[in-house]
Structure 1
Amino acid sequence: MQQTKLKNKQGIQSSFAYTLLRNDLLPELLGKEEETILYWAGKHLARKHPLSSTEEICDFFQKAAWGSLSVIQEKTNKRVFELIPTLPTPTHYKLEAGFLAEQYETMTDCVTETLEQVKRKRVLFTVESNAKETAQ
């Protein structure tokens, strides 16, 4: 089994633990509600770690070892991001999508939703804010 190595403040770590939790344990524990719960969990993480710019969000993804996040399209109420994951690809990225949705909902004060599209070795996130509906 090939293991990707990550380097962070604590030193070099194996991706085995992350992969074990993300791909084996969480689906078993959360069952059919896994994607919904992880989207909510991402929103919760964003509330605990509020950021104020796209650059800070991209830095957070790198520090969290979620991967390299970059903006590929930006309009008034819509942003498209590309994520090159650091670790082996899970089947979905709802945690990251929820995180993005909540960060932009907080920054724009508009209801925001993020959709994901998993490609081969990258993920596209479309973040859309509804300017007609303010966040509560």
Structure 2
Amino acid sequence: MKSSAELEQKTTEIDLTVPAFGYELIRDILLPEILGKETADILYWAGKHLARKFPLMSINEVISFFEEAGWGTLHITKEEKNGMEFELSSSLISRQFEMKTESCFKLEAGFLAEQIQSQRKMRTEAFEEIIKRHKKIKILIRWDFKDLDI
């Protein structure tokens, strides 16, 4: 039998989930309406700003942050000399593809770029690629060893 504290915690966790519809209203309808044609650029820089507010020390912490923020499951798919490649997936992302919603993932790309830049101490940029067939987002991170961020 569960204690009242365990039941209260479970109830609180349930109460704190956000319905997909509410998330989509803000992400896909309200923000583009407010930000207009500059939506993608503003979201990228907003992601970088969020990363500065929540500095993380490792890729594992970044992966956990994505899960906790409800952005999805982040996996490293490739690591090279001049960059990294990540895949981002979630039931919300799959739902957006099924509903044929035009979404951008610049917020997540900007956040990831800034976290990697901070951890590696090199100027870093991110580019996202939508992979409709697999219902995933690919985020490519690139850096230049000549452009150290000290």
* Paired letter, 1:119: I
Q: CA RMSD in A?
A: 1.8
* Paired letter, 1:36: D
Among the aligned pairs, what percent are the same residue? Answer: 42
- What TM-score results when the alignment is normalised by the length of structure 1? 0.88
Q: Which has the higher helix share?
A: 2
Q: Relative to structure 1, is the Cα distance of residues 32 and 12 closer, same or farther in structure 2, using a 3 angstrom cutoff?
A: closer
Could you tell me which of 72, 79, 88 is aligned with 1:83?
Answer: 88
Q: In structure 2, what is the Cα distance between the partners aligned to 1:130 and 1:32?
A: 29
1:122 paired with 2:136, answer yes
Q: In structure 1, what is the Cα distance between the partners aligned to 2:13 and 2:74?
A: 17
Size of the aligned set, in residue pairs, is 130
* Paired letter, 1:32: K
Match of 2:52 in 1: 47
Measure how far apart 1:77 and its partner are: 2.9
* Paired letter, 2:144: N
Q: Relative to structure 1, is the Cα distance of residues 9 and 59 closer, same or farther in structure 2, using a 3 angstrom cutoff?
A: farther
Q: Which has the larger radius of gyration?
A: 2
Q: Which runs of 5+ in 2 are unaligned?
A: 1-11, 97-101
* Paired letter, 2:147: E
1:30-41 correspondence to structure 2 within 5 Å: 30-41=35-46
Match of 1:27 in 2: 32
Q: Which has the higher strand share?
A: 1
- What TM-score results when the alignment is normalised by the length of structure 2? 0.80
Q: In structure 2, what is the Cα distance between the partners aligned to 1:86 and 1:48?
A: 27
Measure how far apart 1:85 and its partner are: 2.8
1:133 paired with 2:147, answer yes
SS at match of 2:51: helix
- Structure 1 segments of 4 or more deviating over 4 A? 7-10
